[in-house]
Structure 1
Amino acid sequence: MSNLEDRPDELECEAAPAAGVEIMTPREVPLGGPRAMRVRRTLPQRHRSLIGAWCFVDHYGPDLVADSGGMKVAPHPHTGLQTVSWLFTGEVEHRDSAGNHAMVRPGEVNLMTAGRGISHSEVSTPVTTTLHGAQLWVALPDSDRHTDPGFAHHAPALVTGPGHEVRVFLGSLLGDTSPVATYTPLLGAEILLDPGASLALDVDPSFELGVLVDVGVVSVAGTDAKPADLAFVPPGSSTLTLVARDQPVRLLLLGGPPFGESIVMWWNIVARTHEEVVAWRTEWQDQITRDGAVVGDSQDVADGRFGIVVGDHLPPIPAPPLPNARLKERR
């Protein structure tokens, strides 16, 4: 998914210290024009930009496609990150410049590695009437951020127990381990709880954790979180206790050790310096323009760092203007 804000904030991303569970509330962001889908963005925020290596959390729906027009995100670039797509309802077609063509479906994770540069598109399918899910980004460490682009798909098994169902799409939890490779230790899981159910999870005490609530109200280590909240849990405990209140709960559990690196994140680019952002933005613009105008079809773009999204005939998304100030470099 692209960050389609016309003037995206420049963020110097660093982990912020916390003494206990912190509840982060979202802001609404439109993905395009006035009828377009709106997403609830809880990460990054000005006071906290990463949970482990997770650096971007968008949560959307349930949205009726008849009202919103569905998801129609034309080819756009990414660098220095991995995208993680997880759906609750609907179906989205993914195409990327590494030649991958796949469907995003409920209960199945699609992970795209941007590395040194990739472009991709995401379009909801004609059979989709309702869209509901999350789009997540993971920052790549400096040692691996120039890796070749890649793609992985996994349909995790359902892990069940008294009052709960769990699908582990990244990392390990409740005895299940995802085969999807990541460049830093990560945890990603969908958890469903029956009303009143309590679930004590063994977790890595070195991990920061984030609990994104989709439906219901859940107690996260003693602090209540409501729908669309992202509850941050600092490292230090080997157990995380989740308790559903009086309604069924669905949530995503995200985690990883503190990232340990500052990043500069602007638009769809995760970089380390102002100069990198400027250079990658220029490369993308040069690929998608002819005589100063954006080409009318993604098949017409020049083959460069970000490649060509074969099979997608939407015009590519131009980069927004840079802010009138130097983007902050890593300190």
Structure 2
Amino acid sequence: MVPPDRADGPDPTPAEPTSVLLAGHDVPLGRYTTVRRLLPQRRRRMIGAWCFVDHFGPDDVAGRPGMQIPPHPHTGLQTVTWLVEGEILHRDSLGNRQSIRPGQLNVMTAGRGIAHSEQSPPDHPPVVHGLQLWVAMPDAARLGPPRFAHHADLPVVGDADLTATVLVGELAGASSPAVVHTPLVGAEVRLPADGGVARLPLAVGFEHGVLVMSGSAEVAGVRLTPGSLLHLGPGRREVGLRGLTDARLALLGGEPFDEPLVMWWNFVGRSHEEIVEARSDWMAGRRFGAVTEDPADRLPAPPMPTTRLKARDRHGNGPG
């Protein structure tokens, strides 16, 4: 998986620690779903522009409602949804109605504001499993119009030791059709239990993170199982991967995102005042439109905190 011109010679000295293992924590999402939240964390808020990483399932939803997240708003971000098992119906305030199934990708660009819902259909498969990711939009693009895209056909690269589906950006010469606004990569990587050490090429200027969705693997010499995220700082030309069992991983990476952000509830902005305005607009029925095909009640915004929200950078640092 590593071209000779990129594999030769020693790697540059990383600008950050070689690897940092970050344990996730469980968070309820809607009434029936619990996710493992891997970003943001106090020790590491972002990987590139990836600012939010949730891994859900595999959950047995046979005879149960499954995922039921009512209409809710977003600003200043893109949602990236990838399914391993199950089916989820996306509906939004632009009038889009799209089922997503395993091997397909949904990308919703919130821009200045959009509302959507995510629900398992009544006749859903017995298991749901996947990723829900957020990408922070840079200042030049974040107030643009909302959009939605569904990608049913994505490029796959690999060999006997590794197969990678390119969700976002470029990897090993293959490019995803998904549109993003900063240099990023996202891929699902599958490793066989009896394979050797696969060498996956990385962009030297990117920072990367790897999580395991199922099975277990060794990544850069660190054993990974579901529930943690391994952060790899910039400066790497490649990373070594080995399946300890049949394993399914996610690789996320991007150029370090240096714009300070204010993240609160479902909004990504730049100031306390922006978040207050977004919340006010949602509660008053302004800006975001309506998810007219979804009969569920809109999700009300929680009360604003009693302290002023501060912008934080990718390390969690902020003013004051």
TM-score, normalised on structure 1? Answer: 0.86
Structure 1 equivalent of residue 141 of structure 2? 144
Conservation of the 8 A alpha-carbon contact between 1:40 and 1:228: yes
1:69 CA drift (Å) = 2.7
Tell me, in whole angstroms, the C-alpha distance in 1 between the residues paired with 2:156 and 2:175. 12
Once superposed, what is the RMSD of the aligned Cα atoms?
1.4
- 232 and 41 in structure 1: CA distance in 2 versus 1, 3 angstrom threshold: same
Q: Give CA-to-partner distance per residue, 1:86-143, whole Å, 9 cap, x none.
A: 0000000101112221111111110000000000011112232211111000000111
- The structure 1 residue matched to 2:85, chosen from 85, 89, 92, is 89
- 44 and 68 in structure 1: CA distance in 2 versus 1, 3 angstrom threshold: farther
Q: Does 1:316 align with 2:298?
A: yes
Runs of 4+ displaced beyond 2 Å:
66-69, 157-160
Residues matched between the structures, number: 296
Structure 1 equivalent of residue 316 of structure 2? none
- 18 and 192 in structure 1: CA distance in 2 versus 1, 3 angstrom threshold: same
Tell me, in whole angstroms, the C-alpha distance in 2 between the residues paired with 1:91 and 1:115. 26
Which stretches in structure 2 are left out of the alignment for 5+ residues?
Answer: 1-14, 313-318
Conservation of the 8 A alpha-carbon contact between 1:170 and 1:189: yes
**Pairwise mapping of residues 176-187 of structure 1 onto structure 2 (< 5 A)?**
176-187=174-185
Tell me, in whole angstroms, the C-alpha distance in 1 between the residues paired with 2:28 and 2:311. 28
Tell me, in whole angstroms, the C-alpha distance in 1 between the residues paired with 2:106 and 2:270. 26
Q: Give CA-to-partner distance per residue, 1:262-321, whole Å, 9 cap, x none.
A: 10100000011000001110010011xxxxxxxxxxxxxxxx310111211110000011
Structure 1 equivalent of residue 156 of structure 2? 158
Tell me, in whole angstroms, the C-alpha distance in 2 between the residues paired with 1:277 and 1:307. 17
SS of corresponding position for 1:283: helix
Tell me, in whole angstroms, the C-alpha distance in 2 between the residues paired with 1:70 and 1:22. 33
Conservation of the 8 A alpha-carbon contact between 2:156 and 2:174: no
Which stretches in structure 1 are left out of the alignment for 5+ residues?
Answer: 1-16, 288-303
1:62 CA drift (Å) = 1.0
Moved more, 85-94 or 62-71: 62-71
TM-score, normalised on structure 2? Answer: 0.89
Conservation of the 8 A alpha-carbon contact between 1:20 and 1:233: yes
Which residue type is aligned with residue 182 of structure 2? T
**Pairwise mapping of residues 1-331 of structure 1 onto structure 2 (< 5 A)?**
18-33=16-31, 36-66=32-62, 69-128=65-124, 129-154=126-151, 155-197=153-195, 198-245=197-244, 247-287=245-285, 304-329=286-311, 331=319
1:159 CA drift (Å) = 2.7
Could you tell me the percent identity over the aligned residues?
49
